[in-house]
């Protein structure tokens, strides 16, 4: 069967009535998650895993996996749509990938152009979603075929690239990012070693023998960390929500935003493919690119439509691009895709090169549902934007208990352990102090997910080579990945050092 045949089968799966409901619920919840500051797609997806397990319990295993991943993916890319609403109306990004949108979006809103900004953000997000889907359809099968030729050495080097990429790009300090990456790798070693059967870092505590549950760490650091930040810092200053007048952008605004949307969609997709790069980096890159090529760069930051169109397109394209390494290589490129990977594995569906061969219903059903979900999001976001704007006004005294309750329910439903609830609380406190001191959390989360996979592939490669480490540099693909990882870490340091030398020479 060809790609188009598989795609048509995917649409047959996605258009089943209950999958349409799951897609709609997913994008609706995702939009709400994006609108509410402090939750974010990662926590939203994590908290809904036990809910999907209950909701799909009446379906056969393969159909249950497809329906669950359709809903969870809907939350993921739906949150990218919703994040722009608070950025534009309240100057408060719903999530990190919408930070750049505040620069021009809020300025537009202050000038009475909030409706145009919201509409362009929704249109840009829709176009980016379609561009990403076309690229995903075109690249999925070829990449899977290439990945089938990967051995343990290639996978080890690829995962190092993922860790190196997120360490080199997260936060303002590479050193802090590397510290967090190593911390995540160390957390991943806790428990019984699968090969030797030896307990590692368990300190004779039986609860630790099974290892640290990823969901507990993720929900604690992200969701509860934000809760503690809100409580402890007591930010009483509430921004004034801008009025939404005319929702339809003018012809001039549509014309001005067309090229930034196209550039943002393409750039965001390729940035999203990179392990560890993510939607936040894509939105920043896109904004910088538009400012660089603009004939009048001084207008950026004062309310130009290009400053909204480009980053909003880029962050949506990046979220779709991040699914490519997950589905084709089995490598989560971000914390949210790592949770999606965990959800698939919970349904005995292993992401990676064999996914499209062994579980075509899941893979192509998800791809087709993303097209349907993007159409739903466009229809939802344009007429209902005023309704979503009301969600922003949810008082913190109601919102914080809701987030805490959902966090505790989500973790306890998966683990059924009070020890995990204590760990959840500890991670929440830790998450607050880490973010307060500018320690990026994403490298820790990715280190925790990829750590066991890195270790297993290292062992397998050394078993094949009888302990000869040269296997990692004698295989061309593995060597290429290692060189890219080295460059990814070294180039920012060299550029930073060169920048300092230029400043010193200028002062001298």
Average pLDDT, consecutive stretches of 10 residues, N- to C-terminus, the chain (508 residues):
78 89 90 72 76 74 83 85 75 67 81 82 87 83 72 83 64 76 88 83 86 76 77 60 64 86 89 68 81 82 85 86 80 74 80 79 86 86 67 68 74 75 89 84 75 85 89 89 84 72 58
How far is Cα 3 from Cα 6, in angstroms, rounded to an integer?
Answer: 5
- Contact residues for 464 (Cβ-Cβ < 8 A; gap 6+): 151, 152, 153, 471
Name the packing angle between helices 114-147 and 61-90 (round to 10°): 140
Classify residue 156 by burial, with Cβ atoms within 10 Å: 0-12, 13-18, 19+.
buried
Place of tokens 């926590």: 43
pLDDT of residue 261: 92
On whether the CB atoms of residues 263 and 289 are closer than 8 A, the answer is yes
How far is residue 287's CA from residue 295's CA, in Å, rounded to a whole number? 14
Which pTM was predicted?
0.69
How far is 290 from 308, CA to CA, in rounded Å? 10
Buried b (16+ CB within 10 A) or exposed e, 226-253: bbbbbeeeeeeeeeebbebeeeebeeeb
User: Are the beta carbons of 310 and 264 closer than 8 angstroms?
Assistant: yes
- Closest Cα to residue 260, out of 293, 299, 301, 296? 293
Q: What tokens were used for 134?
A: 């076309």
Half-sphere exposure of 386 (CA within 13 A, CB side): 7
Which sign does the torsion angle of CA 167, 170, 175, 179 carry? negative
Please tell me the distance from the alpha carbon of residue 341 to that of residue 295, in angstroms, as a whole number: 43
Burial (0-12, 13-18, 19+ Cβ within 10 Å), 497: exposed
**Residues sharing a CB contact under 8 Å with residue 385, sequence separation 6 or more, in sequence order:** 85, 115, 118, 122, 244, 247
Asked if 93 and 34 count as a contact pair (C-beta separation under 8 A), the reply is no
Beta carbons within 8 Å of 48's beta carbon, 6+ residues apart: 29, 71, 72, 75, 410
Q: Give, as one character, the DSSP assignment of residue 175.
A: H
Task: Residue count of the chain, please give it.
Answer: 508
Q: Which two tokens stand for residue 72?
A: 């969870």
CA separation for the pair 204, 262 (Å, rounded)? 56
Q: Return the pLDDT at 243.
A: 59
**The pair of three-digit structure tokens given for residue 374, joined into one six-digit string:** 């993007």
Cα–Cα distance between 17 and 455 in angstroms, integer? 43
The HSE-up count of residue 170 (CA atoms within 13 Å, CB side) is 31
Which residue stretches of 58-204 are H helix?
Answer: 61-90, 101-110, 114-147, 152-169, 174-188
pLDDT for res 24: 93
Question: If you ran DSSP here, which 8-state letter would residue 56 be given?
Answer: T
What the block records as the tokens of 147 is: 């990945």
Instruction: Classify burial at 346, counting beta carbons within 10 Å of its beta carbon; exposed 0-12, middle 13-18, buried 19 or more.
Output: middle
What pLDDT shows up at residue 390? 65
The pLDDT value recorded for residue 237 is 46
Rounded to whole angstroms, how far apart are CA atoms 65 and 347?
6
């Amino acid at each position: 069967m060809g790609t188009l045949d598989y795609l048509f089968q995917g649409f047959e799966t996605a258009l089943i009535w209950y999958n349409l409901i799951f897609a709609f619920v997913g994008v609706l919840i995702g939009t709400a998650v994006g609108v509410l500051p402090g939750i974010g797609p990662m926590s939203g997806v994590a908290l809904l895993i036990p809910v999907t397990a209950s909701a799909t319990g009446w379906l056969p295993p393969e159909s249950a996996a497809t329906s669950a991943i359709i809903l969870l993916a809907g939350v993921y890319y739906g949150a990218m749509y919703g994040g722009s609403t608070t950025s534009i109306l309240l100057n408060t990004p719903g999530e990190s990938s919408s930070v750049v949108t505040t620069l021009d979006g809020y300025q537009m809103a202050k000038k009475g152009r909030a409706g145009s900004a919201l509409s362009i953000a929704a249109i840009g997000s829709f176009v980016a979603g379609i561009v990403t889907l076309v690229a995903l359809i075109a690249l999925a099968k070829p990449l899977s075929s290439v990945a089938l030729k990967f051995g343990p050495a290639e996978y080890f080097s690829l995962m190092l690239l993922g860790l190196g990429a997120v360490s080199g790009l997260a936060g303002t300090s590479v050193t802090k990012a590397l510290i967090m990456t190593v911390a995540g790798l160390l957390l991943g070693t806790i428990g019984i070693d699968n090969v030797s059967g030896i307990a590692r870092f368990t300190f004779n505590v039986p609860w630790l023998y099974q290892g640290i549950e990823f969901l507990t760490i993720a929900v604690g650091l992200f969701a509860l960390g934000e809760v503690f930040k809100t409580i402890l810092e007591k930010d009483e200053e509430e921004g004034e929500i801008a009025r939404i007048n005319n929702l339809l952008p003018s012809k001039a605004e549509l014309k001005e935003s067309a090229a930034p949307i196209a550039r943002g969609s393409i750039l965001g997709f390729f940035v999203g493919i990179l392990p560890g790069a993510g939607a936040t980096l894509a939105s920043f890159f896109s904004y910088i690119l538009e400012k660089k090529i603009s004939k009048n760069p001084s207008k950026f930051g004062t309310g130009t439509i290009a400053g909204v169109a480009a980053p909003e397109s880029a962050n949506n394209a990046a979220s779709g691009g991040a699914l490519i390494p997950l589905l084709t290589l089995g490598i989560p490129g971000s914390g949210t895709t790592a949770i999606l990977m965990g959800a698939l594995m919970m349904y005995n569906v292993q992401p990676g090169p064999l996914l499209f061969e062994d579980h075509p219903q899941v893979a192509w059903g998800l791809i087709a549902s993303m097209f349907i979900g993007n159409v739903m999001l466009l229809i939802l976001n344009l007429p209902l934007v005023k309704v979503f704007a009301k969600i922003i006004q949810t008082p913190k005294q109601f919102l914080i208990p809701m987030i805490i309750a959902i966090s505790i329910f989500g973790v306890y439903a998966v683990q059924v352990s009070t020890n995990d609830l204590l760990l959840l609380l500890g991670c929440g406190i830790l998450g607050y102090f880490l973010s307060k001191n500018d320690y990026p959390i994403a490298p820790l989360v990715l280190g925790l997910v990829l750590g066991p996979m890195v270790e297993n592939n290292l062992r397998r490669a050394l078993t094949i080579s009888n302990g000869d480490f040269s296997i990692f540099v004698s295989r061309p693909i593995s060597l290429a990945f290692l060189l890219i990882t080295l460059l990814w870490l070294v180039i920012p340091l060299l550029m930073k050092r060169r920048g300092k030398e230029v400043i010193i020479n200028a002062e001298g």
